[in-house]
Amino acid sequence: MAERVIPLADHRYAASLPRVPLDAAPPDGLLADQLGRELRDLRISVTDRCNFRCSYCMPKEVFDKQYSFLPHASLLSFEEITRAARLFVAHGVRKLRLTGGEPLLRKNLEVLIQMLSGVQTGEGKPLDLTLTTNGSLLARKARVLKEAGLQRVTVSLDALDDATFRRMNDVDFPVADVLTGIDEAQRAGLGPIKVNMVVKRGTNDHEILPMARHFRGTPLVLRFIEYMDVGATNGWRMDEVLPSAQVIARIHAEHALEPLEASSPGETAQRWRYRDGGGEIGVISSVTQAFCRDCNRARLSTEGKLFLCLFASQGHDLRSLLRGSYSDEQIAAAIGLIWRSRDDRYSELRAARGAEGGSGQRRVEMHYIGG
Ligand code: SF4
């Protein structure tokens, strides 16, 4: 019988082997990149699989039955993820966000959450530990996630109208089940819950007002995200982007809004509140108002490649270090070196290049490093 070879690395995305400095100082939490941006936020993708096939992220034509997702041996183990998280925290990371794919598809995710909830800052403070989900499995998992130490969740929801929602997730998943998941998350105390709606002109922009009305007057924060040119498979076009300014104008015409200050440095969303006290909304305007200057996020892919930008075409192979005979100090030093040389600002450059301007390089897919 022929031997079955399971590839241990995914060669779809290039990654360089990080340089391990010999004489590195231990992390002091004050790491800054070439543009003076500190490292504060780590997004960890725990699976490249998803049970939805949203056209802007994992279009069915590409991610079909023949598509080969990463084999289990390629994924970072929970121990490897926790070790990496500790090193990033030593460098100043204060927020850990688990992403995917759909993170709740990763088996025993609550075990990882329990491990990560034990990681503390140098001053002994807990981290902001959160997760982004499509909500499909939330009703079943909310309580166990909370008990494991998860603090809050962000749920992706692109429409309230069932037909529009089913069309967008492209697997005929009913919106009612996601809404039940949100209710369960609220009951379990996984708040403040954020709801992310990707707005695609001509596809779901008619859902802006129904979504705003639905979440108005609740503690949930609805955020509208401009449709972005992530990855290489979603056929992005500028004319399908509805600028956030228009989203705000549409809602403001019905319920007066006023801007709020950012709640933390590097926050991606611009915050607005209803003047009559009906709560808060946000807009994430990556296309029309780039916020690269404050970008303090790093992304760790499912198989341990470190990406410094959502639109990067190349990562840094941290898994090789985690699985090699390197000490924590050496790996932390390598991470420090990588972050210090970072000068990514894709969205800013896209704006400078003009409406249709990509970088011309193949970009990493969002399901592989999380949004
Ligand atoms: S384009 Fe890259 S650098 Fe700019 S905000 Fe997005 S992730 Fe950060």
What gap in Å lies between CA 74 and CA 50, rounded to an integer?
17
Q: What is the pLDDT along the chain (371 residues), one digit of tens a residue?
A: 333 333 344 556 778 999 998 777 889 988 999 999 999 999 999 999 999 999 888 989 989 999 999 999 999 999 999 999 999 999 999 999 999 999 999 999 999 999 999 999 989 999 999 999 999 999 999 999 999 999 999 999 999 999 999 999 999 999 999 999 999 999 999 999 999 999 999 999 999 999 999 999 999 999 999 998 776 666 778 889 999 999 999 999 999 999 999 888 778 899 999 999 999 999 999 899 888 999 999 999 999 999 999 988 899 999 999 999 999 999 999 999 999 999 999 888 887 776 555 555 666 776 666 66
- Which of the listed residues 33, 35, 297 should we mutate to test ligand 1's pocket, taking the one with most ligand atoms within 8 A of CB? 297
What is the pairing mode between strands 128-133 and 152-156? parallel
Instruction: Report CA(37)–ligand 1 centroid distance (Å).
Output: 11
Instruction: Report CA(162)–ligand 1 centroid distance (Å).
Output: 32
Atom of ligand 1 nearest to the CA of 294: 5
Instruction: Report CA(2)–ligand 1 centroid distance (Å).
Output: 46
What gap in Å lies between CA 168 and CA 163, rounded to an integer?
9
- First-to-last alpha carbon distance for the chain, in angstroms, is 42
Q: What are the start-end ranges of the H helices in 290-357?
A: 318-322, 328-340, 346-353
- Which of the listed residues 97, 306, 311, 363 should we mutate to test ligand 1's pocket, taking the one with most ligand atoms within 8 A of CB? 311
- Which of the listed residues 288, 345, 359, 366 should we mutate to test ligand 1's pocket, taking the one with most ligand atoms within 8 A of CB? 345
- Of 108, 121, 110, the closest CA to residue 146 belongs to 110
- Give 184's contacts (C-beta < 8 A, 6+ positions apart): 138, 139, 142, 143
Instruction: Report which protein residue has its CA nearest ligand 1's atom 3.
Output: 345
Instruction: Report CA(347)–ligand 1 centroid distance (Å).
Output: 6
Amino acid at 136: S
Assessment of whether the complete model's pTM goes beyond 0.85:
yes
What gap in Å lies between CA 219 and CA 230, rounded to an integer?
30
What gap in Å lies between CA 269 and CA 197, rounded to an integer?
12
Instruction: Report CA(311)–ligand 1 centroid distance (Å).
Output: 7
Question: At 243, phi and psi to the nearest 5?
Answer: -55, 140
Instruction: Report CA(226)–ligand 1 centroid distance (Å).
Output: 14
- Which of the listed residues 291, 295, 343, 364 should we mutate to test ligand 1's pocket, taking the one with most ligand atoms within 8 A of CB? 295
Given a contact cutoff of 8 angstroms between Cβ atoms, the answer to whether 345 and 35 are in contact is yes
**What residue has token string 């121990």?**
79
Pocket of ligand 1 (CB under 6 A): 286, 291-292, 295, 309-311, 344-347
Tell me the HSE value of 85 on the side-chain side, using a 13 A CA sphere.
Answer: 29
* DSSP type of residue 315: E
Instruction: Report which protein residue has its CA nearest ligand 1's atom 5.
Output: 292
